[in-house]
Structure 1
Amino acid sequence: MGELMNSGVLSIASLMISVVMLIVGLILWFFVNRASSRTNEQIELLEALLDQQKRQTALLRRLCEANEPEEKAVPKDALDEVKEDEDDFIRLVAER
Protein backbone atom coordinates (compact mmCIF):
# COMPACT_ATOMS: atom_id res chain seq x y z
CA MET A 1 0.00 0.00 0.00
CA GLY A 2 2.97 2.27 0.63
CA GLU A 3 4.01 1.84 -2.96
CA LEU A 4 0.65 3.12 -4.18
CA MET A 5 0.89 6.24 -1.97
CA ASN A 6 4.42 7.03 -3.09
CA SER A 7 3.53 6.74 -6.76
CA GLY A 8 0.45 8.93 -6.24
CA VAL A 9 2.49 11.62 -4.47
CA LEU A 10 5.08 11.58 -7.21
CA SER A 11 2.46 11.96 -9.92
CA ILE A 12 0.84 14.88 -8.06
CA ALA A 13 4.26 16.50 -7.51
CA SER A 14 5.19 16.16 -11.18
CA LEU A 15 1.77 17.53 -12.15
CA MET A 16 2.28 20.55 -9.84
CA ILE A 17 5.77 21.17 -11.26
CA SER A 18 4.33 21.04 -14.78
CA VAL A 19 1.58 23.52 -13.87
CA VAL A 20 4.07 25.90 -12.23
CA MET A 21 6.37 25.71 -15.26
CA LEU A 22 3.41 26.38 -17.55
CA ILE A 23 2.41 29.47 -15.53
CA VAL A 24 6.00 30.78 -15.49
CA GLY A 25 6.26 30.17 -19.25
CA LEU A 26 3.00 32.05 -19.90
CA ILE A 27 4.14 34.99 -17.77
CA LEU A 28 7.47 35.14 -19.62
CA TRP A 29 5.67 34.91 -22.99
CA PHE A 30 3.36 37.77 -21.97
CA PHE A 31 6.23 40.13 -21.11
CA VAL A 32 8.29 39.20 -24.20
CA ASN A 33 5.27 39.64 -26.46
CA ARG A 34 4.44 42.97 -24.82
CA ALA A 35 8.01 44.24 -25.25
CA SER A 36 8.00 43.12 -28.88
CA SER A 37 4.72 44.95 -29.56
CA ARG A 38 6.05 48.14 -28.01
CA THR A 39 9.25 47.87 -30.02
CA ASN A 40 7.28 47.47 -33.24
CA GLU A 41 5.19 50.54 -32.37
CA GLN A 42 8.33 52.56 -31.66
CA ILE A 43 9.86 51.47 -34.98
CA GLU A 44 6.71 52.56 -36.83
CA LEU A 45 6.76 55.94 -35.06
CA LEU A 46 10.45 56.45 -35.87
CA GLU A 47 9.84 55.61 -39.52
CA ALA A 48 6.98 58.12 -39.66
CA LEU A 49 9.22 60.73 -38.02
CA LEU A 50 11.97 60.05 -40.56
CA ASP A 51 9.51 60.45 -43.42
CA GLN A 52 8.30 63.79 -42.01
CA GLN A 53 11.86 65.00 -41.57
CA LYS A 54 12.66 64.13 -45.19
CA ARG A 55 9.61 66.11 -46.32
CA GLN A 56 10.60 69.08 -44.16
CA THR A 57 14.13 69.00 -45.54
CA ALA A 58 12.82 68.98 -49.11
CA LEU A 59 10.48 71.89 -48.35
CA LEU A 60 13.29 73.83 -46.68
CA ARG A 61 15.56 73.32 -49.70
CA ARG A 62 12.85 74.56 -52.04
CA LEU A 63 12.21 77.56 -49.79
CA CYS A 64 15.92 78.41 -49.62
CA GLU A 65 16.29 78.10 -53.38
CA ALA A 66 13.26 80.34 -53.93
CA ASN A 67 14.55 83.02 -51.52
CA GLU A 68 18.15 82.85 -52.69
CA PRO A 69 19.27 86.27 -53.95
CA GLU A 70 20.83 86.54 -57.35
CA GLU A 71 24.60 86.61 -57.34
CA LYS A 72 25.99 90.06 -58.03
CA ALA A 73 29.04 90.54 -60.12
CA VAL A 74 31.94 91.06 -57.71
CA PRO A 75 34.98 92.84 -59.15
CA LYS A 76 38.14 90.75 -59.38
CA ASP A 77 40.10 93.34 -57.42
CA ALA A 78 37.88 92.78 -54.37
CA LEU A 79 38.42 89.02 -54.58
CA ASP A 80 42.19 89.48 -54.82
CA GLU A 81 42.14 91.71 -51.72
CA VAL A 82 40.22 89.08 -49.77
CA LYS A 83 42.76 86.42 -50.78
CA GLU A 84 45.65 88.67 -49.75
CA ASP A 85 44.03 89.29 -46.37
CA GLU A 86 43.69 85.53 -45.88
CA ASP A 87 47.36 85.05 -46.74
CA ASP A 88 48.35 87.72 -44.21
CA PHE A 89 46.33 86.00 -41.54
CA ILE A 90 47.98 82.67 -42.30
CA ARG A 91 51.39 84.29 -41.88
CA LEU A 92 50.40 85.55 -38.43
CA VAL A 93 49.60 82.06 -37.16
CA ALA A 94 52.56 80.61 -35.31
CA GLU A 95 53.85 77.34 -36.60
CA ARG A 96 54.80 74.59 -34.24
Structure 2
Amino acid sequence: MNDVINSGALNLMSLVVSLVLLVVGLVLWFFINRASSRTNEQIELLEALLDQQKRQNALLRRLCEANEPEKEEASQPTKAKEKEDDDFIRLVAER
Protein backbone atom coordinates (compact mmCIF):
# COMPACT_ATOMS: atom_id res chain seq x y z
CA MET A 1 0.00 0.00 0.00
CA ASN A 2 2.90 2.28 0.74
CA ASP A 3 4.12 1.78 -2.82
CA VAL A 4 0.77 2.80 -4.30
CA ILE A 5 0.67 6.05 -2.30
CA ASN A 6 4.30 6.87 -3.07
CA SER A 7 3.90 6.19 -6.79
CA GLY A 8 0.74 8.34 -6.90
CA ALA A 9 2.50 11.16 -5.08
CA LEU A 10 5.49 10.79 -7.36
CA ASN A 11 3.27 11.01 -10.43
CA LEU A 12 1.51 14.05 -8.95
CA MET A 13 4.84 15.77 -8.17
CA SER A 14 6.08 14.99 -11.66
CA LEU A 15 2.91 16.52 -13.11
CA VAL A 16 3.24 19.64 -10.89
CA VAL A 17 6.90 20.09 -11.84
CA SER A 18 6.01 19.72 -15.53
CA LEU A 19 3.24 22.30 -15.23
CA VAL A 20 5.51 24.74 -13.39
CA LEU A 21 8.20 24.34 -16.04
CA LEU A 22 5.57 24.85 -18.76
CA VAL A 23 4.32 28.06 -17.13
CA VAL A 24 7.88 29.38 -16.65
CA GLY A 25 8.68 28.51 -20.28
CA LEU A 26 5.56 30.32 -21.52
CA VAL A 27 6.35 33.42 -19.44
CA LEU A 28 9.92 33.46 -20.77
CA TRP A 29 8.65 33.00 -24.33
CA PHE A 30 6.21 35.89 -23.86
CA PHE A 31 8.90 38.32 -22.69
CA ILE A 32 11.42 37.21 -25.31
CA ASN A 33 8.80 37.49 -28.07
CA ARG A 34 7.75 40.93 -26.79
CA ALA A 35 11.35 42.16 -26.71
CA SER A 36 11.90 40.76 -30.21
CA SER A 37 8.84 42.53 -31.62
CA ARG A 38 9.91 45.82 -30.00
CA THR A 39 13.37 45.38 -31.47
CA ASN A 40 11.86 44.76 -34.89
CA GLU A 41 9.79 47.94 -34.57
CA GLN A 42 12.88 49.92 -33.59
CA ILE A 43 14.79 48.50 -36.55
CA GLU A 44 11.96 49.51 -38.89
CA LEU A 45 11.97 53.04 -37.45
CA LEU A 46 15.74 53.31 -37.82
CA GLU A 47 15.53 52.12 -41.41
CA ALA A 48 12.85 54.74 -42.10
CA LEU A 49 15.09 57.41 -40.57
CA LEU A 50 18.01 56.24 -42.69
CA ASP A 51 15.86 56.44 -45.81
CA GLN A 52 14.77 59.98 -44.94
CA GLN A 53 18.36 61.02 -44.28
CA LYS A 54 19.41 59.64 -47.65
CA ARG A 55 16.63 61.64 -49.31
CA GLN A 56 17.70 64.78 -47.45
CA ASN A 57 21.32 64.27 -48.48
CA ALA A 58 20.25 63.83 -52.10
CA LEU A 59 18.21 67.03 -51.94
CA LEU A 60 21.09 68.93 -50.36
CA ARG A 61 23.45 67.71 -53.07
CA ARG A 62 21.01 68.86 -55.74
CA LEU A 63 20.72 72.26 -54.08
CA CYS A 64 24.47 72.60 -53.79
CA GLU A 65 24.99 71.56 -57.39
CA ALA A 66 22.30 73.99 -58.52
CA ASN A 67 24.00 76.84 -56.65
CA GLU A 68 27.56 76.02 -57.73
CA PRO A 69 27.39 77.46 -61.28
CA GLU A 70 26.22 80.81 -59.94
CA LYS A 71 29.13 80.98 -57.55
CA GLU A 72 31.62 79.92 -60.21
CA GLU A 73 30.42 82.56 -62.64
CA ALA A 74 30.67 85.24 -59.99
CA SER A 75 34.04 84.04 -58.78
CA GLN A 76 35.70 83.74 -62.20
CA PRO A 77 36.16 87.50 -62.69
CA THR A 78 37.38 87.69 -59.13
CA LYS A 79 40.08 85.11 -59.89
CA ALA A 80 41.32 87.20 -62.79
CA LYS A 81 41.38 90.28 -60.56
CA GLU A 82 43.23 88.34 -57.85
CA LYS A 83 45.79 87.27 -60.40
CA GLU A 84 46.35 90.91 -61.35
CA ASP A 85 46.62 91.80 -57.67
CA ASP A 86 49.16 89.02 -57.16
CA ASP A 87 51.25 90.40 -60.02
CA PHE A 88 51.17 93.84 -58.45
CA ILE A 89 52.15 92.46 -55.05
CA ARG A 90 55.10 90.69 -56.60
CA LEU A 91 56.39 93.99 -57.89
CA VAL A 92 56.23 95.65 -54.48
CA ALA A 93 59.26 94.99 -52.33
CA GLU A 94 58.61 93.25 -49.05
CA ARG A 95 59.87 94.75 -45.83
Q: Give 1:77 deviation, angstroms.
A: 5.1
CA RMSD, 1 decimal = 1.9
Unaligned runs of 5+ in 2: 88-95
Unaligned runs of 5+ in 1: 81-96
Corresponding residue pairs, total: 81
The amino acid of 2:76's aligned partner reads K
Identity of aligned residues (%): 69
CA distance in 2, matches of 1:18, 1:78: 93
Query: Which residue of the partner structure matches residue 76 of structure 2?
Result: 72
CA distance in 2, matches of 1:79, 1:2: 114
After superposition, what is the alpha-carbon deviation per residue over 1:48-67, rounded to whole angstroms, capped at 9, x for unaligned?
11010000000011111212
Q: Per the alignment, do residues 61 and 5 of structure 1 end up closer, same or farther by CA in structure 2, a change over 3 Å counting?
A: same
More helix by share: 2
The 5-angstrom pairing of residues 77-92 of structure 1 reads: 78=85
Q: Per the alignment, do residues 59 and 33 of structure 1 end up closer, same or farther by CA in structure 2, a change over 3 Å counting?
A: same
Matched position secondary structure for 2:18:
helix
Q: Per the alignment, do residues 31 and 77 of structure 1 end up closer, same or farther by CA in structure 2, a change over 3 Å counting?
A: same
The 5-angstrom pairing of residues 16-95 of structure 1 reads: 16-68=16-68, 69-70=71-72, 71-73=75-77, 74-75=79-80, 76=83, 78=85
Q: Which moved more, 1:58-67 or 1:68-77?
A: 68-77
Normalising by structure 2, we get a TM-score of 0.76
Normalising by structure 1, we get a TM-score of 0.75
CA distance in 2, matches of 1:64, 1:58: 10
